[in-house]
Amino acid sequence: MSISETWRNVGPVIVSILIIIAVAIVRAHSRTAAAVLATMPINVPLALWVVYAGAGGDRAIMEQFTRAMLIAIGPTVLFILVVWLAARAGWRLAPMLAAGYAAWAVGLAATRLILQTLGRS
Protein backbone atom coordinates (compact mmCIF):
# COMPACT_ATOMS: atom_id res chain seq x y z
CA MET A 1 0.00 0.00 0.00
CA SER A 2 1.42 3.39 -0.98
CA ILE A 3 1.67 6.38 1.34
CA SER A 4 -1.14 8.18 -0.50
CA GLU A 5 -3.42 5.13 -0.19
CA THR A 6 -2.60 4.84 3.50
CA TRP A 7 -3.34 8.55 4.02
CA ARG A 8 -6.69 8.21 2.18
CA ASN A 9 -7.65 5.41 4.58
CA VAL A 10 -6.17 6.74 7.82
CA GLY A 11 -6.45 10.51 7.28
CA PRO A 12 -10.18 10.84 7.96
CA VAL A 13 -9.85 8.76 11.13
CA ILE A 14 -7.01 10.95 12.44
CA VAL A 15 -8.96 14.12 11.64
CA SER A 16 -12.04 12.69 13.43
CA ILE A 17 -9.99 11.94 16.55
CA LEU A 18 -8.55 15.47 16.52
CA ILE A 19 -12.08 16.90 16.27
CA ILE A 20 -13.25 14.85 19.26
CA ILE A 21 -10.26 16.09 21.26
CA ALA A 22 -11.01 19.68 20.21
CA VAL A 23 -14.63 19.36 21.36
CA ALA A 24 -13.45 18.06 24.75
CA ILE A 25 -11.01 20.96 25.16
CA VAL A 26 -13.39 23.66 23.92
CA ARG A 27 -16.23 22.35 26.12
CA ALA A 28 -14.26 23.37 29.21
CA HIS A 29 -14.35 26.99 28.00
CA SER A 30 -17.70 27.25 26.20
CA ARG A 31 -20.46 24.70 25.86
CA THR A 32 -21.94 26.74 23.01
CA ALA A 33 -18.65 26.72 21.09
CA ALA A 34 -18.32 22.97 21.73
CA ALA A 35 -21.87 22.43 20.42
CA VAL A 36 -21.09 24.46 17.30
CA LEU A 37 -17.88 22.49 16.76
CA ALA A 38 -19.73 19.19 17.33
CA THR A 39 -22.41 20.03 14.78
CA MET A 40 -20.21 21.65 12.15
CA PRO A 41 -20.22 19.88 8.81
CA ILE A 42 -16.98 18.11 9.66
CA ASN A 43 -17.99 14.49 9.22
CA VAL A 44 -19.59 15.34 5.89
CA PRO A 45 -16.31 16.41 4.23
CA LEU A 46 -14.54 13.44 5.82
CA ALA A 47 -17.14 11.05 4.41
CA LEU A 48 -16.99 12.80 1.04
CA TRP A 49 -13.21 12.44 1.10
CA VAL A 50 -13.43 8.69 1.73
CA VAL A 51 -16.14 8.11 -0.90
CA TYR A 52 -14.48 10.36 -3.49
CA ALA A 53 -11.14 8.61 -3.06
CA GLY A 54 -12.75 5.18 -3.19
CA ALA A 55 -14.83 6.06 -6.25
CA GLY A 56 -12.00 7.75 -8.10
CA GLY A 57 -14.04 10.95 -8.22
CA ASP A 58 -16.89 9.35 -10.18
CA ARG A 59 -19.62 12.00 -10.57
CA ALA A 60 -22.55 9.57 -10.46
CA ILE A 61 -21.34 7.92 -7.27
CA MET A 62 -20.78 11.30 -5.63
CA GLU A 63 -24.24 12.50 -6.69
CA GLN A 64 -25.90 9.38 -5.27
CA PHE A 65 -23.93 9.59 -2.04
CA THR A 66 -24.66 13.28 -1.46
CA ARG A 67 -28.36 12.77 -2.25
CA ALA A 68 -28.50 9.95 0.30
CA MET A 69 -26.80 12.22 2.85
CA LEU A 70 -29.35 14.95 2.22
CA ILE A 71 -32.21 12.51 2.76
CA ALA A 72 -30.58 11.02 5.88
CA ILE A 73 -30.24 14.39 7.61
CA GLY A 74 -33.94 14.35 8.60
CA PRO A 75 -33.64 11.35 10.94
CA THR A 76 -30.46 12.89 12.38
CA VAL A 77 -32.34 16.09 13.21
CA LEU A 78 -35.03 13.92 14.82
CA PHE A 79 -32.30 12.21 16.92
CA ILE A 80 -31.09 15.59 18.21
CA LEU A 81 -34.65 16.78 18.90
CA VAL A 82 -35.49 13.69 20.97
CA VAL A 83 -32.20 13.86 22.90
CA TRP A 84 -32.85 17.56 23.62
CA LEU A 85 -36.38 16.81 24.86
CA ALA A 86 -35.05 13.98 27.02
CA ALA A 87 -32.37 16.27 28.46
CA ARG A 88 -35.02 18.87 29.27
CA ALA A 89 -36.98 16.14 31.06
CA GLY A 90 -33.92 15.34 33.19
CA TRP A 91 -33.10 11.93 31.76
CA ARG A 92 -29.67 10.36 32.23
CA LEU A 93 -27.34 10.00 29.25
CA ALA A 94 -27.95 6.33 28.38
CA PRO A 95 -31.77 6.64 28.17
CA MET A 96 -31.38 9.94 26.27
CA LEU A 97 -29.18 8.25 23.66
CA ALA A 98 -31.40 5.17 23.51
CA ALA A 99 -34.46 7.34 22.86
CA GLY A 100 -32.53 9.39 20.32
CA TYR A 101 -31.36 6.32 18.41
CA ALA A 102 -34.85 4.80 18.56
CA ALA A 103 -36.28 8.01 17.07
CA TRP A 104 -33.49 8.05 14.47
CA ALA A 105 -34.26 4.43 13.48
CA VAL A 106 -37.98 5.14 13.20
CA GLY A 107 -37.25 8.28 11.18
CA LEU A 108 -34.87 6.40 8.90
CA ALA A 109 -37.38 3.57 8.39
CA ALA A 110 -40.14 6.08 7.65
CA THR A 111 -37.90 7.92 5.19
CA ARG A 112 -37.01 4.68 3.42
CA LEU A 113 -40.69 3.62 3.30
CA ILE A 114 -41.72 6.99 1.83
CA LEU A 115 -38.96 6.81 -0.79
CA GLN A 116 -39.89 3.23 -1.71
CA THR A 117 -43.54 4.22 -1.97
CA LEU A 118 -42.58 7.06 -4.30
CA GLY A 119 -40.36 4.67 -6.29
CA ARG A 120 -37.19 6.54 -5.42
CA SER A 121 -35.43 3.72 -3.52
pLDDT in tens, 36-91: 877 777 778 888 888 888 888 899 999 999 999 988 899 999 999 999 999 999 99
Residue 90: its H or E element: none
Per-residue confidence band for 121, with pLDDT thresholds at 50, 70 and 90 = low
In angstroms, the CA 67 to CA 57 distance is 16
- Please enumerate in sequence order all residues whose Cβ is within 8 A of that of 37, keeping only pairs 6 or more positions apart, or say none: 19, 22, 23, 26
- CB 75, CB 114: distance < 8 Å: no
3-state class (DSSP) for residue 121: coil
